[in-house]
Amino acid sequence: MRKRWLPIFLIPFLLFNGFNSGTAKAVEKEERNWQDETIYFLMVDRFNDGDTSNDFGVNMNDPKAYQGGDFQGIIDKLDYLKDMGFTAIWLTPIFDNEDGGYHGYWTKDFYKPDEHFGTMEKFKELVKEAHKRNMKIILDFVANHVGPHSPWLDDPTKKDWFHEKKPILGNGQKSLENGWIYDLPDLNQDNPEVKKYLIDAAKWWIKETDIDGYRLDTVKHVPISFWKDFSKEVKSVKKNFYLLGEVWSDDPRYIEKYEKAGIDGFVDYPLNGPLRQAFAKPDTSLDRLFTMWDINKNTYDHPELMGSFLDNHDMKRFTRDMVEAKQFPGTRWQLALTYLYTTPEIPIVYYGTEIAMDGGNDPDNRRFMNFRANKDLIDYMTKIGELRQQLPALRRGTMKLLYEKDGMAVFKREYKKETIVVAINNTSKTQKIEIPEKDLKADKELRGLLNNDLVKSKDGKYTIIIDREKSEIYALADKTGLNIPFISALAFVYITFMAFLYLAWKRGKKKNKNKE
């Protein structure tokens, strides 16, 4: 009898969940764009060894030798990445490289994968498995140069494929585009054959493997005229294909001209320095970060497609900054990631961040991933990753700074009818901040989504109290009160249930009487 009644007891809960799922479905109807992604950046050779049969020349004791990471290793960890909230993966170059090119930037053959990483079939499987999980794949594409001992150098038919060997001198554009960076053979993209070869190869990989984007290496070392044609041709192959450029410059105005050439977004180097400085230790102002957003907003056509990041394979790890400042990395990372995940731009997280991996300059910043658990940091990243996906305002909304003083910042994100308020206490003391109702709305409440804080408007203001080196993400909502429609629905269900019990009891009693 108990089993027969169980579904009836569950009706109120199913009804409640039905109301919630209706709201979720409304959000999901919006078309997914690149500003909705959260990117995990990994070095293929240094991430995970899933297939020891391709461990050619592996030497774990040599930081400049192959370490064994491969496509199978990434496939094995797709659920690990998805569970943390990542929706896209950016891989270092996978094309066949010269010996010693574990990093992928010494291209030997643009039309096949490196043997150390796996076969073309295995890479296609990686893309397919990622897509099954609704995750996108971004490949690093190098159009500026090839490996130091490229066979093309000895091919007389390709004599005009390279610029004359000379170093880059100063910041003159001609020298930047024609000089050999790190003594690597510099391709002459003004040569129609070179241009066609590179563009054809880029289009071929999209058609063959169904990848979703390219991260473009050393963009400023290649003529803008090439990028205009490259962008147009590549985007003609697949709808919504994303181009993320690397222009290592502190000047957004310099970067902007490459956006005009058709590159969608850029790893935001001008923001990187201020980000690292702000979050390496407490009691550092966050004001400059919001100034940088105002600059980006007034510079780029699509500032929301920029990629914000704290470290990568070309600089010492952010954890090292914290260690040198004698700070606890887990705490500092949580604050920094909160900013990264709740402000406009696409968050890009370097592999190992989830375990606060340490490392100095190259190659120490490219250590092999060991997947040791840092549960607090992983749980925190998972939570803010969920909130970023659940709340459109964090991905698409406007941003307005409401308060900033010596590292205590409060800002709001607004999108359609949704208002999210983020408070980051980057100071060494508990902070109490009063936000006037006019900056939000009158007679509402702020519901904390990280720590379950609740702030109700009172006397024309919202009083927010945040512990030292902590953050909170609030949703602005109506003040909590009785939900009359829901209570009425529950009452109806229980009255119906009690009537059913009474009728069942009466029927049972009648049957027993007849048996007598």
* Strand-strand pairing, 136-141 and 107-113: unpaired
Selected catalytic residue, list 177, 217, 304, 469: 217
Task: Beginning with the edge strand found earlier in the chain, give each strand of the sheet holding 39-42 in spatial order.
Answer: 265-266, 242-245, 213-216, 136-141, 88-91, 39-42, 346-350, 307-309
Q: Catalytic: 246?
A: yes
Using CA of residue 501, residue 506, residue 511, residue 516, what is the dihedral sign? positive
What is the residue whose two structure tokens read 């990629």?
Answer: 307
Contact status, residue 206 vs residue 214, Cβ threshold 8 Å: no
Q: Which of 3, 15, 40, 49 is nearest to 347 (CA)?
A: 40
Q: DSSP 3-state assignment of 470? A: coil
d(CA 437, CA 444): 9
Contact status, residue 56 vs residue 115, Cβ threshold 8 Å: yes
What is the residue whose two structure tokens read 């001992």?
Answer: 149
How far apart, in Å, do the first and last CA atoms of the chain sit? 22
Selected catalytic residue, list 36, 49, 246, 345: 246
Q: Which of 289, 250, 254 is nearest to 268 (CA)?
A: 250
CA angle 278, 305, 233 (to 5 degrees): 140
> What angle, 0 to 180 degrees and rounded to 10, lies between the N-to-C axes of helices 2-28 and 484-515?
160
For 85, 86, 373, the CA distances from 347, given in Å and listed in that order, are 11, 10, 22
Strand stretches in 36-179, DSSP E: 39-42, 88-91, 95-97, 107-113, 136-141
Q: Output DSSP code: residue 137.
A: E
The Cα diameter of the chain in Å comes to 110
**Catalytic center residues:** 217, 246
